[in-house]
Amino acid sequence: MSVEEMSATAKALFRDGKGLLAMDESNPTCNKRFEKLGIPQTEEYRQKWRQLIVTAPGLSESISGAILYDETIWQKSSDDIPFITILQKNGIVPGIKVDAGAKDFAGHPGEKSTEGLDGLRERLTTYFNFGARFAKWRAVITIGPSIPSIACIDANVTELTLYALLCQEAGLVPIVEPEVLMDGDHTMEKCREVTVQVQNALFEKLTEYGVALEALILKPNMILPGLNCQIQETVDETAEATIATLLRTVPAKVPAVAFLSGGQSAEHATARLAAMNTKYGERVPWAVAFSYSRAIQQKALEIWRGEDSNIAEAQRSLIFYASSNRQARLGREAPAVS
Ligand code: 13P
């Protein structure tokens, strides 16, 4: 795959207001969400859940690409059709999470570094041959009294860059996800400061190592106050802060910015995306899009609760949130939230 072909894939993923569905929770994360709702934490139930998603009628009207987890990419529906085939037949491009998770960063209490580079070249080739056309790697940056450290930022952006180089060598569009977590009581200003620092370091490293920026997708956090911060800015204020920050950090060559939802309510994730597109959509060089997991799936999971009789209603909920985010991308106002 040439850089031009990967760039075309990256652009095509965000046509017509569509976006990505992150359905790539690792087994431990998926199990944690199941446990809270009393759903059995087994491969059988994870398969049922992912089948509910990939067979939701009309999913492809809003979703152009789905990020899968290793277990899911090999799974089949109950009538023996590989999930990847169902997605492809519906015009949804399969993608794959390839990191092995954020682990404690040695010598740096409270900080994480992401594992998964060992054997990555071979895994990427296997996924490409099976039909994946893009990949994802998540780095986690925590805000705390004296963190993030320079070392943590450097380790994470280096890992993201080595991953991105290997992806492009294998013909897969890399999604680079440097997530500054919402956990904590930090202000929006602090989130902005750390996000600028991380993204500047990231784009510097990507450029230095020769990653083709036109064939890459950035999956960032929005600029938001910590979940426990006393002051919670309005939708318009967070939209403005996010766009102003990304205009400082993200080169114009990058085709798309696809946000994670990161613990925002589904309504906030949609309203903020709508505000960004309504007010600034025409003025930014990249697509302003979504790559949400919880903001699209969480309500559906709560409806389903592992019961076959709830599948149709859960699918309707999933489609509702997917389609609300497509409307948000198209710059149509979302229902008001403060
Ligand atoms: P959330 O939208 O739930 O933050 O998940 C996005 C994601 O892919 C995290 O890696």
- Does 148 sit in the ligand 1 pocket, CB within 6 Å? no
pLDDT, position 337: 75
Q: Residue with the nearest Cα to atom 4 of ligand 1?
A: 262
172-199 burial, b for 16+ CB within 10 Å, e for fewer? Answer: bbbbbbbbbbbebebbbebbbbbbbbbb
CA of 326 to the centre of ligand 1 (A): 17
- Does 295 sit in the ligand 1 pocket, CB within 6 Å? yes
Q: Is the pLDDT of residue 334 over 90?
A: no
Please state, in angstroms and as integers, the Cα–Cα distance from residue 308 to each residue in 35, 58, 299, following that order. Answer: 17, 19, 16
pLDDT, position 310: 98
Q: Which residues contact 249 (CB under 8 A, 6 or more apart)?
A: 195, 196, 199, 200, 203
Q: Is the pLDDT of residue 22 over 80?
A: yes
H/E stretch holding 249 reads: helix 235-249
Q: Which atom of ligand 1 sits closest to the CA of residue 261? A: 2
Q: Residue with the nearest Cα to atom 10 of ligand 1?
A: 138
CB 134 within 8 A of CB 95: yes
CA of 136 to the centre of ligand 1 (A): 11
pLDDT, position 338: 64
pLDDT tier for residue 333 given thresholds of 50, 70 and 90: low
Task: Please give the model's pTM, rounded to 2 decimal places.
Answer: 0.97
Mean pLDDT across the stretch 1-28? 98
Gap between the Cα atoms of 209 and 70, Å rounded: 27
CB 270 within 8 A of CB 288: no
- Does 33 sit in the ligand 1 pocket, CB within 6 Å? no
- pLDDT by residue (tens digit) across 121-175? 999 999 999 999 999 999 999 999 999 999 999 999 999 999 999 999 999 999 9
Gap between the Cα atoms of 274 and 229, Å rounded: 23
Q: Which residues are catalytic?
A: 177, 219
Mind listing the domains of the chain with CATH numbers?
Answer: 3-329 (3.20.20.70)
Nearest to 291 by CA among 314, 268, 262, 267: 262
Q: Which atom of ligand 1 sits closest to the CA of residue 67? A: 8
- pLDDT by residue (tens digit) across 23-43? 999 999 999 999 999 999 999
- Does 192 sit in the ligand 1 pocket, CB within 6 Å? no
Gap between the Cα atoms of 57 and 326, Å rounded: 16
- Does 261 sit in the ligand 1 pocket, CB within 6 Å? yes
CA of 184 to the centre of ligand 1 (A): 18
Please state, in angstroms and as integers, the Cα–Cα distance from residue 79 to each residue in 30, 85, 174, 180, 289, following that order. Answer: 23, 12, 32, 41, 33
- Does 270 sit in the ligand 1 pocket, CB within 6 Å? no
- Does 329 sit in the ligand 1 pocket, CB within 6 Å? no
- pLDDT by residue (tens digit) across 244-269? 999 999 999 999 999 999 999 999 99
Residue 175's φ and ψ, nearest 5 degrees, are -95, 120
CA of 27 to the centre of ligand 1 (A): 14
pLDDT tier for residue 332 given thresholds of 50, 70 and 90: confident
- Cross-strand bridge partners of residue 248: none
CA of 137 to the centre of ligand 1 (A): 11
DSSP assignment string, 108-142: -TT-EEE---TTHHHHHHHHHHHT--EEEEEEEE-
Angle at 89 between CA 85 and CA 171, to 5 degrees: 70
> What percentage of the chain carries pLDDT values higher than 70?
99
Longest dimension (CA), the chain: 53
